[in-house]
Amino acid sequence: MWAVLLVLVGLLSVVLLLGRRRRREGEPQLIQGWVPYIGKALDFGLDSNAFLKKNQEKYGDVFTVYIAGKYMTFIMDPLLFPSIMKYGRQLDFHDFVNQVAPVTFGYPPVSSFPDMDHQIQRSFRLLQGDNLLALTESMMGNLQAVFRQDFLGDAGGEAAGEGWSTGGLYDFCSSLMFEATFLTLYGSPDHACRHSDMAALRHHFTKFDNMFPLLVAGIPIWLLGRTKATREKLIRYFLPQRMLGWSNTSLFITMRSRVFEQNDMLSDTDKGAHHFAILWASVGNTVPASFWALYYLINQQEALQAIRQELHRVLQHPESQDPWEPEVMISKDQLEQLVYMESAINESLRLSSASMNIRVAQQDFTLQLDKQHAVAVRRGDFIALYPQMMHMDPEIFTEPQVYKYDRFIEDGREKTDFFKRGQKLKFYRMPFGSGSSICPGRFFAINEIKQFLCLLLIYLDMEMEEGQEEAQLDNSRAGLGILLPTKDVRFRYRLRRPTS
């Protein structure tokens, strides 16, 4: 599918006679393949790590690759990352978002509304600092409401019986985290705690999400079957007149709605598309991230026990929760004390994240990498960091393929010394991007994954079902965030008994 579509677009470009370029003095090695537009996109898409590694061996730590119509200069040495972050003005991240997000989510380019762009940036603060408290409290309530109704049989649902239940682990994580995150950000319908059509929304979301890498690669949506219709359904979900009927909406979304309302150039559909983009940003990575966090723990029961012990130590209550007791309360402070759990989450993110950090050169200039090295870049070129290579570097992380839940702990506290060629790294873990483009939702994301794990560890015993293959990373969204598993794995769970 990937390949066929890219070839199609490649052929289109031949017709349009898009040119190729020549390497100039002072520029990095140029690798462009012979196919117009596509360039090396196929090689990259098949196995990005192997592709980058091969070129690094051949050309060194900096080289330019032509991928899907873009010249991308990769900086492979993590010791050089800090110098890239310093070029805030010449290397711009929002230029990239503004090129990609509008075509992907279907709203008009934000750069045509500079004022609104600025306010949208400001809205990101509402995911952090003092505002995180309200979000975190609301998330805990929503997570428990959904979990108790669907899995503990509150409100007359199917009660989890004495024995084991089984299910797909990805599906389990997705149904809980998708809905709880949705309720926390967008709110609930006026006269109910839950939206009635969440399963349908999630279904359409998944269909769209499968096409996401192709949209980002610049494949026109009309080549992608029913994707456009699916996207329209998703956008319609967020039309202003519908959202007016929701309550307990987060300040973050309320403020964004207000910004859109003030802009009479935006149609209702455009507003819906913006809200939909935030849905993607907030669950597109969090759902697979919670899957991997839980998957590794269930697979390694010693790790799971250690995390559970830490949790009970912090909460100061017995090793299991009577399901008919009132809700579990976990304060933000308590969440912060869960350092082993945090290390376990960070370790699963290290293993599963493949986000690329992209900056767009705003002018022709010379990028000073360190005292000895500089390269020339051209206006419009992409500068790309690919942290997954660093996450998997055996010089930085011993046995990088192995999950070690306490890899980021030393003497009971967070470990922050990681080295490359004997030098301490400033950046060694980058699932959330870096510098000016770092994910504004990262604190909320880590908190909600913690809350999710807390709840499950308190209420449930969980095991993998026998005779299953290990979950594999699906590389088709390499460069775009947390990778999904190639297929779901089956697990079983049962209520833990109160040890009174």
Ligand X SMILES: *[C@@H]1O[C@H](CO)[C@@H](O)[C@H](O)[C@H]1NC(C)=O
Asked whether 480 and 355 are in contact (CB, 8 A), the reply is yes
Report residue 218 as tokens.
Answer: 């610049």
Question: Which one of ligand X, ligand HEM, none is in contact with 294 (Cβ closer than 5 to 8 A by kind)?
Answer: none
**How is residue 125 written in tokens?**
């603060």
Among 73, 188, 285, 321, binds ligand X (CB under 6 A): 188
What phi and psi values does residue 88 have, to the nearest 5 degrees? -60, -40
Q: How far apart are CA 88 and CA 348, in angstroms?
A: 30
The span from the CA of 250 to the CA of 165, in Å, is 34
The residue (of 143 and 152) whose beta carbon lies closer to ligand HEM is 143
**Contacting ligand HEM within 67-106 (CB under 6 A):** 97
Q: Considering only residues 12, 201, 239, 281, which one is a binding residue for ligand HEM as defined by CB under 6 A?
A: 281
Our CB check for ligand HEM shows the closer of 10 and 78 to be 78
Q: Give the residue nearest to ligand HEM (CB).
A: 441
**Nearest distance from residue 282's CB to ligand X, in Å?**
16
Query: Shortest Cβ distance from residue 103 to ligand HEM (Å)?
Result: 15
Cβ atoms of 368 and 374 within 8 Å: the answer is yes
Q: Give the position of tokens 């009971």.
A: 412
Q: Are 306 and 342 within 8 A, CB to CB?
A: no
Please report how close the Cβ of residue 307 comes to ligand X at its closest, in angstroms: 12
According to the annotation, is 285 in a ligand binding site? Answer: yes
| CA neighbor of 400 nearest in space, from 383, 418, 382, 377 | 418
Cβ-proximal residues to 117 (8 Å cutoff; 6+ apart), any chain: 94, 98, 110, 111
C-alpha to C-alpha distance for 152 and 160, rounded to whole angstroms: 5
- Nearer of residues 152 and 295 to ligand HEM, judged by Cβ: 295
Stretch that binds ligand X, among 5-13, 211-219, 335-343, 350-358 (CB under 6 A): 335-343
Per CB under 6 A, 33 contacts ligand X: no
Answer for which of 83, 165, 248, 331 binds ligand X (CB under 6 A) is 248
Residue 394 class from Cβ within 10 Å (0-12 exposed, 13-18 middle, 19+ buried)?
Answer: exposed
**Rounded to an integer, what distance in angstroms lies between the CA atom of residue 225 and that of residue 166?**
34
Beta bridge partners of 374: 368
CA distances from residue 388 to 174, 475, 484 in whole angstroms, order as listed? 24, 12, 15
Output 256 or 404, the one with its CB closest to ligand X: 404
- Of the residues 28, 106, 323, 431, which one makes contact with ligand HEM according to CB under 6 A: 431
Nearer to ligand X (CB atom), residue 33 or residue 141 = 141
Residue 145 Cβ, how far from ligand X at the closest point, in Å? 8
Scanning residues 140 to 159, which ones bind ligand X (CB under 6 A)?
141
Only segment of 219-227, 399-407, 435-443, 462-470 that touches ligand HEM (CB under 6 A): 435-443
Give yes or no for residue 123 binding ligand X (CB under 6 A): no
Q: How far is the CB of 143 from ligand X (least distance, A)?
A: 13
Furthest-apart CA pair in the chain: how many Å? 75
**Burial (Cβ within 10 Å: 0-12, 13-18, ≥19) of residue 166:** exposed
Give the x/- contact pattern for ligand X in 424-443, rule: CB under 6 A. -----x--x---------x-
- Applying CB under 6 A, does 441 fall inside the site for ligand HEM? yes
Rg of the chain taking only CA atoms, in angstroms: 23
Question: How many Å apart are CA 453 and CA 307, to the nearest integer?
Answer: 9
Q: Residues 96, 252, 280, 408: which binds ligand X (CB under 6 A)?
A: 408
Q: Any binding-site annotation on 173?
A: no
Which x/- pattern, by CB under 6 A, does the window 184-223 give for ligand HEM?
----------------------------------------
What is the DSSP-derived secondary structure letter of residue 319? S
Interaction partner, residue 482 (ligand HEM, ligand X, none; CB < 5-8 Å by kind): ligand HEM
What binding mask, one character per residue, do residues 226-245 give for ligand X by CB under 6 A, x or -? Answer: --------------------
Q: How far apart are CA 88 and CA 435, in angstroms?
A: 8
Site for ligand HEM in 455-484 (CB under 6 A): 481-482
Neighbours of 436 (CB within 10 A): 15
Structure tokens at 492: 């079983």
- Output the CA angle 287-105-238, nearest 5 degrees: 75
- Residue entry with tokens 């790790």: 303
Both tokens assigned to 219:
């494949």
Question: Which of ligand X, ligand HEM, none has residue 99 at its interface (CB below 5 to 8 Å by kind)?
Answer: none
- Write down the least CB distance from residue 101 to ligand HEM, Å: 8
Name which of ligand HEM, ligand X, none residue 419 binds, using a CB cut-off of 5 to 8 Å depending on partner kind.
Answer: none
Binding residues for heme: 439
Binding residues for substrate: 285
Q: Which residues of the chain form contacts with ligand HEM (CB under 6 A)? A: 97, 124, 127, 281-282, 285-286, 289, 353, 355, 357, 431-434, 437, 439-441, 444-445, 481-482
Residues near ligand X, by CB under 6 A: 138, 141, 188, 193, 247-248, 339, 342-343, 346, 408, 414, 429, 432, 442, 446
